[in-house]
Structure 1
Amino acid sequence: MPTSPISTSASLPMGKRLTFRILLTTILGLALTLAAIGYTLLLSWQLEGGGAAINEAGSLRMRSYRLATMLAQTSPTNIVQQELLDFNRTLADLQTGDPKRPLFLPQTTLIREQTKKVQNAWRITVQEQVLKVLAEKDPLLRRQALTLYEQDLPGFVQDINQLVSLVEIELAEKTTWLRLCQTALIFMSLAASVALLYLLYLWIVGPVTRMQTGIARMTKDDLSVRLPIETEDEFGVLAQAFNQMADHVQGVHRTLEVRVLEKTAKLQAQNHEMSTLYEIAGFLAGPHPIEELCRGFLHRIMHRMEADGGTVRILDTLTDNMHITVHEGISEKMIEEEHCIKKDDCLCGAAAQQGIILVRDFRLLDQQKRYRCQEEGYVSLAVFQIVTRDQVIGSFSLHFAKERIVSSEERRLLEILGKNLGSAIENQRLIAKEKEFAVSQERNLLAQGLHDSIAQGLNFLNLQVQMLEDSLKRNDTDEIRDIAPLLRAGVQESYEDVRELLLNFRTRLQDSNLESEMRNVVAKFQRQSGVQSDIHFSGNGAPLPPEQQLQILFILQEALSNVRKHAQASTVKVLIENGRDFSMTVTDNGIGFDLDTIHEKGEGHVGLRIMRERAERLSAQFTITTLNTVGTSIRLQLLRQERQVA
């Protein structure tokens, strides 16, 4: 549902922000408090200075009488003069004040006038009398001057008392003001505390309480709760956001059941799609013939899409013809007519070039064209490509008797399955070619073995037979006796060669145990040839796959066969090292041979050539070390990067 935009605290005017009001209230309260405290401090300072002034003024009375006593006792002049200096300094302090002590008189009119009166009385009357007493040498005149001083002294002391009284009255007023300020501070503190509590409740506690109440009601599934927007500050923005959230939650809650059902249906569809994908992918990964792959694929796709018919067509790239490989739910008449079409004919053929073709309703298409699917009674059609390595190798079609819309999810699924089917078909073709190539290679090796061993033996026998016929014509019995053993030896050797070839090409690994098979081959060689044979295994490398093990076993058989035929050896040693690299060394102590002479024979020695070809099929290194009368060593080394995983 549409909602109005929510103002954030950053977009509120400064005057409406709660933080601004709290800050302003704090500043005002602090200013009033500091002003009151400052005023009380000022009053305290004035009271302290006034008290010191009263003490100093009171001391003037004592000094006045002490001067009279000193003059009557005829004290030394210097002492009296020092007392006069102290008296004058005290009067000066009362006049100017001393902030350090502090000491000062209140600055009222009466106090200033009385202070001036005291100072004038001192300078004009009292001080002059004291100086006259000190200046007179005649005792009589000195006594008269002292009498005049004593007569003027009570009036001077009375002026001082009047000054002290005025100061005391002023300080009493200030003391009253100080007490009033302190009382006001107490009431201000109480009022400020009450005002602060009220403002906290009004600005913070109240909105937070209403917010907590609203959240508690919403927690109990009361989605109709709304908060009143009473202010325009941050809590007002928060209340507005809460109300909008409540509107949204209430709207979502109304449609929650529908949305849950929709999500559940969508999830079920996705699970069904994934299960279909896994099921068909698992079937296509099996070792099935191409026709069986296509039939199982079509059956599962039709069941998943609830189709009434379907076909799988394979493209012949040489003739650009589309051949129906398997079909289901399609009449024989239609199959007879469309079992072979060009890839641009009809909709199924056109899909190989144009891509996916979806027909929702044949009645909406051009009625001037002929559609065999429509004639069969089908209303909808879906055709998808069969692709492998970005090349189209065919198409599969689904026919529906009712109007059918293929969703985007189903379309994506069928595209993926079309690629999986293409990969499975291509894998089966590659497997067939690999088998054909393997059979061809084995037949080639067999032909070479027959040509280079049996054929040569038969050629030798042919010559001997011709010589036998010639000897019979000449009736040369001695020559016939010489030829007969040669014929028997040639036939026996050819027979053994045939048996050995048949044995080699029938060899199979039992339980992929290369070590036991190699021991069996070496033991059998020793029994048949009588040559002392020894085989030794070392290393703890991983086992080789069966195809590599079989080729190594063939090479060992061929090496031992060459030792039996040509080496005339008495001992043979076979060393197998299976570490990260794999190596096999076959060494005999026979007569050896000259490699250069062997290479000059053109095609070379048949056994050596067969072993080299098998080593090339393994991508292994094959080396021969031999010297006449010393023996021969044949080494096969399969490097770690050429090893396959078993």
Structure 2
Amino acid sequence: MSETERVPVRRSLSTKIVGVLVGFLAVALVMIGTTLYLSWQLQGSAAAINETGKLRMASYRLSLELARAARGERAEAADEARRQLDALGTAIWQLRKGDPQRPLVLPPAQPIHAQFSRVSAYWNDAVRPAALSVLAAAPGSQSMQALVHCEALIDGFVRDADALVRAIETDSERRMFWLRASQMALLAMAVASTVTLVYVLFGLIVAPVMRIHQGIMRMGDEDFSVRVAVDSDDEFGQVAHGFNQMAARLQSLYGDLEGLVRSKTAALEAQNGELALLYDSAAFLQQRLPVDAMCEGFLARLMEYFKADGGSVRVLDPNRGNLHMVAHKGIPARLVEAEHCLKVGECLCGEAVVKKVALVHDLRQAPAGPTLECRRAGFQTVSLFHIFAHEQNLGFFNLHFKCARQFDERERALLESMGAQLGVAIENERYFVREREMAISEERNLVARGLHDSIAQGLNFLNLQVQMMEQSLAAKRLDEACDIVPALRAGVEESYQDVRELLLNFRSRLHEGNLLASLQMTINKFRQQAGIVVELQSDGEDGAPFPGEQQLQILFIVQEALSNVRKHAGASHVLVRLHDRHDFVLSIEDDGAGFDASAVLERKDSQVGLHIMRERAARIDATLDIQSAPGAGTRVTLRLPMEMRHAA
């Protein structure tokens, strides 16, 4: 018999180990279950002893209250005696029923249950009726006679309860002995099972592992002729057999190891090149670039990696079905001129767009017919891969080769991944442009409303005053014309102040991203322009920093609030409070004339500045509260809860 021949000796290792463990587990579960059952009964017996002991105390209290009731010492003694009667009845009922949850249970011994039956019957048949007769009799000699009889019965009831307690205690001592015996047996079984398991595991696991370990050590010393004896058909026998097969395989492959290393090295280099291309392209496409520059850089990297002779990138115009060439390299000018704009469905590339499939076309095998421009330019292979973003076809890119070129599955997957990268970058750039256009449009709308609220209304006032002056001069009422001149001067001054204020607001910039410093600069400008005392109070800036756009919106809200103070409040003092911790709270409070806030805010066609402030607050997920009353000043509060703020 050879050394490596498999000899069926025993059952599988898992069956043997599981059998031993299941046997030990079954015995342990029985012992543990017995211990738990005895512990549960001991706890129930202890609770029963406690409840039975309460019967004695309650009986003494009942006797005391009955004596007081019989002598008429306390008016409430009879009620207390009835409560004691009910309590004793409830305790006896609980002992009879038991409570597995506490646990509360009488031991199952027949003498204990017989004694409890005597206690229960003695209570129901003798003690309780006697106590009720004492309570029913009027205080005097008759009630005292009933009391003496009842106390004698109560003494007998207490003796029976004591006998019940002693019986339960005796049973508990016996069960405690069995509990300790089972625990000692469990301890002995644990020691015996440990010794047995050590012996079994050493023979079944440790010895085979040591043999396999010795074989591995010899194999580590490049002794591939090592073999391990297979003396069983269990799992370790199978492992030993597999080890012998592995040793034989390594012995046969060791001579060709250098060839395997070279092939693996080449595969790793190819994978590293793919990863480098993907990383370089991803880093390039993350930059903010125009689409044509983005496509040119993308195409240059692809052509360098695949050693292509030419290439192009086309973007799809879905509205008109055109494919525009936005980037090209290595393509003859005639080919660029002829195919700078293709229609979907034209040529091989247009057909691939319709079918939404990648294409690697060997131009040497093109069917007879009109000569393709690519083949006329000297290219033999043209590849086409689509540019996708969010399952939307944005165009495709070509790689042209003057020699025949095939792409394996790995290269095709790489080119498809590159197309997805470019598609996401193009789509992100378009999103950025649209978002910027929308932001500009929204800001223009706010500026237009601001102009309407300030300069347009001022100019309308000046226009009316000029018309009135013309009418007065035409009627030669010079005194009326002279009266209009101060109003014109005031209107011009007001419009000038509005224009100057708008210019200052439009030029507002954040001071190195510091909102507090920007607020201080805005307040200083307002103080110099309006001549109003403005105080800034801040409890620090412990909250997370805001993005730049949100900080600008907060700054614009403050500017609009201060502008309203200058125009309408007639205030002499303004207080700006900043609370920036978890929640962001900014308030602007003045001591001016005030107004009816509810009435003004209900008029949608007036006070455009207030509505603009509310719109700006909504853009940063904040709330704007305006509190004012005639003669009581105005307070504007901007509040941004912690759960709505976004860190920069």
TM-score (norm. length: structure 1) = 0.64
* Whole-angstrom distance in 2 between the partners of 1:392 and 1:564: 56
* Whole-angstrom distance in 1 between the partners of 2:240 and 2:641: 76
* Whole-angstrom distance in 1 between the partners of 2:290 and 2:3: 66
Structure 2 gaps of 5+ residues are 12-210
The alignment yields a C-alpha RMSD, in angstroms, of: 3.2
Alignment of structure 1 residues 451-462 onto 2, 5 Å: 451-462=452-463
Q: CA deviation at 1:506?
A: 1.6
Match of 1:10 in 2: 8
* Whole-angstrom distance in 1 between the partners of 2:617 and 2:292: 37
Alignment of structure 1 residues 505-584 onto 2, 5 Å: 505-539=506-540, 540-584=542-586
Asked if the contact 2:285/2:425 (under 8 Å) is kept, the reply is yes
Q: CA deviation at 1:645?
A: 1.9
**C-alpha offsets along residues 197-236 of structure 1, whole Å, 9 cap, x if unaligned?**
xxxxxxxxxxxxx99999998666465x588999999999
Residue 588 of structure 2 aligns with an amino acid whose one-letter code is V
Match of 1:38 in 2: none
Helix, strand or coil at the partner of 1:396: strand
Match of 1:446 in 2: 447
Q: CA deviation at 1:412?
A: 1.3
Asked if the contact 2:625/2:637 (under 8 Å) is kept, the reply is yes
Q: CA deviation at 1:392?
A: 0.8
Q: CA deviation at 1:381?
A: 1.6
Helix, strand or coil at the partner of 1:378: coil
* Whole-angstrom distance in 1 between the partners of 2:438 and 2:229: 86
Residue 605 of structure 1 aligns with an amino acid whose one-letter code is Q
Alignment of structure 1 residues 135-174 onto 2, 5 Å: none
Bigger relative CO (Cα 8 Å, ≥ 6 apart): 2
- Of 407-416 and 246-255, more deviation after overlay is shown by 246-255
Q: CA deviation at 1:255?
A: 2.0
Asked if the contact 1:9/1:237 (under 8 Å) is kept, the reply is no
* Whole-angstrom distance in 1 between the partners of 2:230 and 2:526: 107
Alignment of structure 1 residues 597-616 onto 2, 5 Å: 597-599=599-601, 601-616=603-618
* Whole-angstrom distance in 2 between the partners of 1:318 and 1:640: 45
Q: CA deviation at 1:282?
A: 0.1
Aligned residues: 446
Q: CA deviation at 1:243?
A: 6.5
Match of 1:173 in 2: none
Identity %: 47
Match of 1:352 in 2: 353
Question: Residues 503, 219 of structure 1: CA spacing in aligned structure 2 closer, same or farther, 3 A cutoff?
Answer: closer
Q: CA deviation at 1:553?
A: 0.2
* Whole-angstrom distance in 1 between the partners of 2:343 and 2:431: 25
Alignment of structure 1 residues 301-316 onto 2, 5 Å: 301-316=302-317
Q: CA deviation at 1:352?
A: 2.9
**C-alpha offsets along residues 332-381 of structure 1, whole Å, 9 cap, x if unaligned?**
22222222222222232233343443335222233346532222211112
Match of 1:595 in 2: 597
Helix, strand or coil at the partner of 2:449: helix
Match of 2:377 in 1: 376
Helix, strand or coil at the partner of 1:619: coil
Match of 1:263 in 2: 264
Question: Residues 354, 7 of structure 1: CA spacing in aligned structure 2 closer, same or farther, 3 A cutoff?
Answer: farther
Q: Which runs of 4+ in 1 moved over 6 A?
A: 210-219, 226-243
* Whole-angstrom distance in 2 between the partners of 1:621 and 1:292: 43
* Whole-angstrom distance in 2 between the partners of 1:265 and 1:217: 31
* Whole-angstrom distance in 1 between the partners of 2:480 and 2:220: 121
Q: CA deviation at 1:634?
A: 0.9
* Whole-angstrom distance in 2 between the partners of 1:437 and 1:624: 28
* Whole-angstrom distance in 1 between the partners of 2:446 and 2:239: 89
Residue 480 of structure 2 aligns with an amino acid whose one-letter code is E
* Whole-angstrom distance in 2 between the partners of 1:5 and 1:368: 73
Q: CA deviation at 1:622?
A: 1.2
* Whole-angstrom distance in 2 between the partners of 1:230 and 1:501: 94
* Whole-angstrom distance in 2 between the partners of 1:598 and 1:215: 90
* Whole-angstrom distance in 2 between the partners of 1:419 and 1:300: 15
Match of 2:503 in 1: 502
Asked if the contact 2:352/2:359 (under 8 Å) is kept, the reply is no
Residue 430 of structure 1 aligns with an amino acid whose one-letter code is Y
Asked if the contact 2:6/2:241 (under 8 Å) is kept, the reply is no
Q: CA deviation at 1:253?
A: 0.7
Structure 1 gaps of 5+ residues are 14-209
Residue 551 of structure 1 aligns with an amino acid whose one-letter code is Q
Asked if the contact 1:453/1:606 (under 8 Å) is kept, the reply is no
Asked if the contact 1:535/1:574 (under 8 Å) is kept, the reply is yes
Helix, strand or coil at the partner of 1:591: coil
Asked if the contact 1:576/1:584 (under 8 Å) is kept, the reply is yes
Q: CA deviation at 1:7?
A: 4.7
1:471 aligns with 2:469: no
Asked if the contact 1:355/1:384 (under 8 Å) is kept, the reply is no
* Whole-angstrom distance in 1 between the partners of 2:503 and 2:213: 94
Q: CA deviation at 1:462?
A: 1.1
Alignment of structure 1 residues 17-56 onto 2, 5 Å: none
Match of 2:642 in 1: 640
Q: CA deviation at 1:452?
A: 2.2
Greater Rg by CA: 1
TM-score (norm. length: structure 2) = 0.64
* Whole-angstrom distance in 2 between the partners of 1:233 and 1:614: 79
Helix, strand or coil at the partner of 2:8: helix
Q: CA deviation at 1:385?
A: 0.9
* Whole-angstrom distance in 1 between the partners of 2:439 and 2:215: 81
Asked if the contact 2:459/2:495 (under 8 Å) is kept, the reply is yes
Helix, strand or coil at the partner of 1:525: helix
- Of 439-448 and 244-253, more deviation after overlay is shown by 244-253
Residue 598 of structure 1 aligns with an amino acid whose one-letter code is V
Helix, strand or coil at the partner of 1:312: strand
Residue 607 of structure 1 aligns with an amino acid whose one-letter code is G
Q: CA deviation at 1:528?
A: 2.4
Asked if the contact 2:511/2:518 (under 8 Å) is kept, the reply is yes
* Whole-angstrom distance in 2 between the partners of 1:212 and 1:422: 55
Q: CA deviation at 1:523?
A: 2.4
Asked if the contact 1:314/1:393 (under 8 Å) is kept, the reply is yes
Match of 2:137 in 1: none
* Whole-angstrom distance in 2 between the partners of 1:593 and 1:10: 102
Match of 2:400 in 1: 399
- Of 315-324 and 592-601, more deviation after overlay is shown by 592-601
* Whole-angstrom distance in 2 between the partners of 1:632 and 1:258: 86
Helix, strand or coil at the partner of 1:10: coil
* Whole-angstrom distance in 2 between the partners of 1:637 and 1:566: 24
Asked if the contact 2:384/2:397 (under 8 Å) is kept, the reply is yes
Helix, strand or coil at the partner of 1:488: helix
Q: CA deviation at 1:453?
A: 1.5
* Whole-angstrom distance in 2 between the partners of 1:464 and 1:275: 74
* Whole-angstrom distance in 1 between the partners of 2:497 and 2:618: 27
Q: CA deviation at 1:6?
A: 6.6
Q: CA deviation at 1:533?
A: 1.4
1:326 aligns with 2:324: no
